[in-house]
Structure 1
Amino acid sequence: HHSCRNRRCPQCQTRAKERWLAKRREERLPVPYFHQVFTLPHALHALVAGGALRSAGECKSPKRGFLFPLRTLSRVFRGKFIAPLSDARGAGQRLAEALADEKLWHALHQQLYGHDWAVYAKQPLGGPEQVLEYLGRCTHRVAISNERLVETDKTTVRFRVRATPGKRVLQ
């Protein structure tokens, strides 16, 4: 049993990742999915259901691989992402300095709308489970896993790394 709950602990993060994956599996619908990457100022990965719910309650599936044209999806996502920031400013909510200060907000707003937000979408090769596993590794990753640790003492940590060219292990 290991209950330090430190986000840098490989054992605790593995358990946290498994709990996170179990919850995501329960939420998953029996529909096709896409792995989408939205390139904001940083990359945002998402597992997106490949369909839309119509007002009558049935699911609409994509005709040609994707439900929406990616360029349109990029613009709509950017607007939907930025709109709540603008709404929060107008509602007088407590905000980060970059959102509260008028000049900083204007500069940030211009920067966010100043370039296209690219969207990359593909059907996951191994299905949605493969994407969930990938996202779980990304969200619950620790810098050095237990398998890579060689030796530790009060002042030193030695660990293995793989040298890319020859794929030999270094210590």
Structure 2
Amino acid sequence: MMITALKEKKETKTFISNTKFEVADIFSEYGEAFIGKHPLPLSSIKVMKAIMACRTEFIGGHLQQCDDCGHEMIVFNSCRDRHCPKCQTGARARWLEKRSAELLPLTYFHLVFTLPHELNPIALCNKEVICKLLFQAVSKTLLQFGKNNLDGKVGFIAVLHTWDQKLLDHFHLHCLIPGGALSFDSTTWIHANNNYLFNVKALAKVYRGKFMDYLNKAFQQDKLNFPGKTQPFGTQDGFTELTNQVWQKKWVVYAKPSLPGPKPVLAYLAGYVHRVAISNHRIIQVEKGMVTFVYKDRNDNNSLKEMTITSDEFIRRFLIHIMPKDFMRIRYYGFLANRAKKKDLPICRELLKVKAPKPTTQQKTTVELLMEVIGVDVTKCPRCKKGTMKMITEIPSLKKHFSLSDVFHLSPITDTS
């Protein structure tokens, strides 16, 4: 009876997301068949099930009632998985609130470090190792340039993305760097040029050298796996041939336009942190085993185009971007490193003659943060637009009554094939 009541009110899910098609729908309709044809690690299956169960009766929720017109609606709980397209707004808002206290009144620079696509097959089979090497090579490069060019310690945030607009594998780091450095004796702030930080061609050469050195060491220490099609690279000759080919490639470090001041930086950061491979609003059609989504064509002035692929290919592309458990996609370095900023940030503010932000006496609620980020009061009644929705009862999770395989059948879309 509870299941029937919940399914009758399932249209209330659209209050949270007005998207017609979702990644969860694709998993629900085609995921079980995909798993039957393709062996997957348990971690990928868990992510699929979390996304399908998100904001459904499977993980429970609560019944709300408007205190003005009496309208009732069910709001189901979120899965909070970091790969879920519906669960990132709150996490992003919390992250931005913390980072706002660390911003300095400076020009910020955005640098993007990419891996050559020739390394993608190895990276996909050794995701944790290769991504760690990527963070290591980029951080060492930027810290070295800060030392050599500014004679001080720079600070920066690095965010890992593994995808491009077509959901294909594209490993790269976005780095946001305040324009300047703290002297090594912590007595002086060294300003960078507002329009120029470091030479990107020089950065690319040093970054390439560091990454390839780390990659060779990982190979010699047997830290890399070479299954399937990557097996030829597992021999010394095959690996040497690959690395020689990669050495001859032009490695890319891209400098995006600089950002003046803290407010533009915060708005800019919101577009890069806690992002997943594809958001639901980009999916425009799911029909007859095919998925159509919108992407930006970087080679055509970022014009919006449509791409249609099979549901199997869509699921495959989405799953290759699942990160290992506990792997940190956002990291901090220099005077912004977690171990250093408690000491270094107050010194930076003192040298820049800016006051520290007032400590917040009370942590903002999720509702308040969402209001700031998306400009929508999620507590307002969707019917009368006046009253406030109040929780009147909790709805228990149905996990006890469902096996995990039943999640695949919670909310499938209708296939007309």
- Same fold, TM-score > 0.5, yes or no: yes
CA 1:14 to 1:64, structure 2 compared with 1: closer, same or farther past 3 Å? closer
The superposition leaves residues 116-138 of structure 1 with CA deviations (integer Å, 9 ceiling, x where unpaired) of 2222212036632133112126x
Q: What root-mean-square deviation, in Å, do the aligned CA atoms of Structure 1 and Structure 2 show?
A: 3.5
TM-score (norm 1): 0.65
Kept in 2, the 8 Å contact 1:33–1:127? The answer is no
Q: Are 1:124 and 2:259 matched, yes or no? A: yes
Instruction: Name the aligned partner's letter for residue 71 of structure 1.
Output: K
Aligned match for 1:143, one of 279, 287, 294? 279
CA 1:47 to 1:64, structure 2 compared with 1: closer, same or farther past 3 Å? closer
1:156 alignment counterpart: 414
CA 1:26 to 1:61, structure 2 compared with 1: closer, same or farther past 3 Å? same
Q: Are 1:44 and 2:173 matched, yes or no? A: yes
Partners of 2:101 and 2:239 in 1: CA distance: 39
2:77 alignment counterpart: 2
Partners of 2:98 and 2:212 in 1: CA distance: 28
Q: Are 1:134 and 2:264 matched, yes or no? A: no
Instruction: Name the aligned partner's letter for residue 80 of structure 2.
Output: R
Matched position secondary structure for 1:4? coil
Matched position secondary structure for 2:208? helix
The count of aligned residue pairs is 152
Kept in 1, the 8 Å contact 2:83–2:276? The answer is no
Kept in 2, the 8 Å contact 1:53–1:59? The answer is yes
Q: Are 1:87 and 2:217 matched, yes or no? A: yes
The superposition leaves residues 10-59 of structure 1 with CA deviations (integer Å, 9 ceiling, x where unpaired) of 43222233344445445555543111123432343221232234322233
Aligned match for 2:249, one of 107, 110, 115? 115
2:11 alignment counterpart: none
Percent of paired sites with the same residue: 35
CA 1:155 to 1:59, structure 2 compared with 1: closer, same or farther past 3 Å? same
Instruction: Name the aligned partner's letter for residue 106 of structure 1.
Output: T
CA 1:14 to 1:127, structure 2 compared with 1: closer, same or farther past 3 Å? closer
Instruction: Name the aligned partner's letter for residue 259 of structure 2.
Output: P
1:161 alignment counterpart: none
Higher alpha-carbon Rg: 2
Partners of 2:114 and 2:175 in 1: CA distance: 11
Kept in 2, the 8 Å contact 1:39–1:118? The answer is yes
Aligned match for 2:107, one of 3, 22, 32? 32
The superposition leaves residues 141-163 of structure 1 with CA deviations (integer Å, 9 ceiling, x where unpaired) of 54314xx89xx953438xxxxxx
TM-score (norm 2): 0.31
Partners of 1:100 and 1:29 in 2: CA distance: 47
Partners of 2:105 and 2:235 in 1: CA distance: 45
Q: Are 1:65 and 2:200 matched, yes or no? A: no
Q: Are 1:54 and 2:54 matched, yes or no? A: no
CA 1:105 to 1:53, structure 2 compared with 1: closer, same or farther past 3 Å? farther
Q: List runs of 5+ in structure 2 lacking aligned partners.
A: 1-75, 117-169, 286-409
CA 1:106 to 1:140, structure 2 compared with 1: closer, same or farther past 3 Å? same
Cα distance, 1:7 vs structure 2: 4.9
Kept in 2, the 8 Å contact 1:35–1:131? The answer is no
2:61 alignment counterpart: none
Cα distance, 1:93 vs structure 2: 4.6
Matched position secondary structure for 2:270? helix
Kept in 1, the 8 Å contact 2:107–2:194? The answer is no
